[in-house]
Every structure is written in structure tokens, then in C-alpha cells.
Amino acid sequence: MKITMNIQDIHYGDVAVQAFPVMAEKLPAEDTAMNKLLRAIAHLPEDVVYSLFDAIPQQEKNEIVFLLVQENKEKILAYATQFLQEQRIGLTIQNLAVASDLAVELVILDIDYGSLVQKILPLIQDKLAEEHDNMASILGKIPAGSPNILLGFLPQKAKDDIAAYLINKGQDQILRFAMQAAANRNIRLELADLNVET
């Protein structure tokens, strides 16, 4: 399963303040001019880093964020995994990719369909009541407290379709969860256009 979304807005200084110290620790021992510059930026006061990023043109800021995400991908995946565990959502993210236009792609390896249903179904009950498609009908029959009873009888394709449907219908709430998780790590951003492919 692949989940895509777009970073519509991001506070670039937040990303720099979080990422530069981590990058500075990973730098090779050589004292090249670039390594010295990155180490110096990593130790600047936060208000100076924010001012620096305010002065950089938009396109260059996007490129810097793209590079910072690439350099810190493992840490971001660890934060995402921790957040999903805290929310009791059984998803395993296999890969995270961010394009230079800040489009985000997550490849999901394993899904605990029961935990996904239990978390998202209550959030989209109002939307489901307005829907008259087959998926809404199926989801209406899943017992809220024990979704695994029905899910256990479904073929893999049907479970994947249910997961995609839930994520797509619950995208507003899911994006809010993701933005709050980033805010908990002191990174302010705005996400949009969530989409799921099975």
C-alpha cells in the first residue's frame, strides 16, 4: 500500500533547528569548509537559525528541507513508528520518500487491519451514514469492539480495500494527527491531498 500527501506549508526554521544538530553528529571528521559551516549552524541559537531561513528564497528552502529529510529519514521513520504505536495503529512503514516539491510518499509493509478499523471507523461514522456504496455497507457491519471477527473471513484484497477506503475517508483527521505529531516534535507544517493506493 502506498500513501501520498503534500506538504503545503512548513516552518523551515523548525526543520533546520531539529535536523542540523543530528546532521552535525553524522559529519565525517574531516575539517572541510562545508563540514565546518554545518557544525557552526548546528550550534547557532535558534532565533538566529530562524532568521537565516527567513532570508533564503522559497525554492532554496524547499531544496534544503528535501535534503534534510533525506539525511534524517531513519529518525523520521522512527518518530512515525512511535506515533503510530502511541495511537495504537498497527502500520509498519517500509519506506519514506520526499520529492523536491515536498510531496511525501509512504510505503506501508504490514497493516493490523483491526487496529486501523478501531481507530478510524469512529472518526468517519458521520461520513459513512451519508454514503451508499458497498464499502460503507460492509463497514457498517463490522463490530466496533471486535473488528477482527469479520475481517478474519475476508480475503487480503478486501482488507486492503477497506484500509484504503478508511484512510481516504478519514484523511482530514489523519492529516490532523500527522500535523500534531510533527508539532509534538516542534515542527510546524500543513499537510494536504492525502491519497492511498493498494
pLDDT in tens, 64-105: 888 888 888 888 898 888 888 888 888 899 999 998 889 999
Distance CA(11)–CA(188), nearest Å, equals 5
The pLDDT of residue 25 is above 90 = no
Neighbouring residues of 101: CB distance < 8 A, sequence distance ≥ 6: 6, 62
| Mean pLDDT of the 34-51 span | 87
Could you tell me which of 146, 130, 93, 90 has the C-alpha nearest to residue 113?
90
Distance CA(49)–CA(14), nearest Å, equals 9
| Mean pLDDT of the 116-134 span | 85
Distance CA(43)–CA(21), nearest Å, equals 7
Is the distance from CB of 65 to CB of 15 less than 8 angstroms?
A: yes
- What's residue 37's pLDDT? 83
Grid cell, residue 69, equals: 529529510
- What's residue 144's pLDDT? 66
- What's residue 123's pLDDT? 85
- The pTM for the full model equals 0.81
Grid cell, residue 63, equals: 531544496
CA distances from 78 to 14, 17, 92, 94 (A): 18, 18, 11, 11
Is the distance from CB of 95 to CB of 106 less than 8 angstroms?
A: yes
With vertex at residue 56, the alpha carbon angle to CA 96 and CA 80, rounded to the nearest 5 degrees, is 20
Could you tell me which of 60, 164, 63 has the C-alpha nearest to residue 117?
164
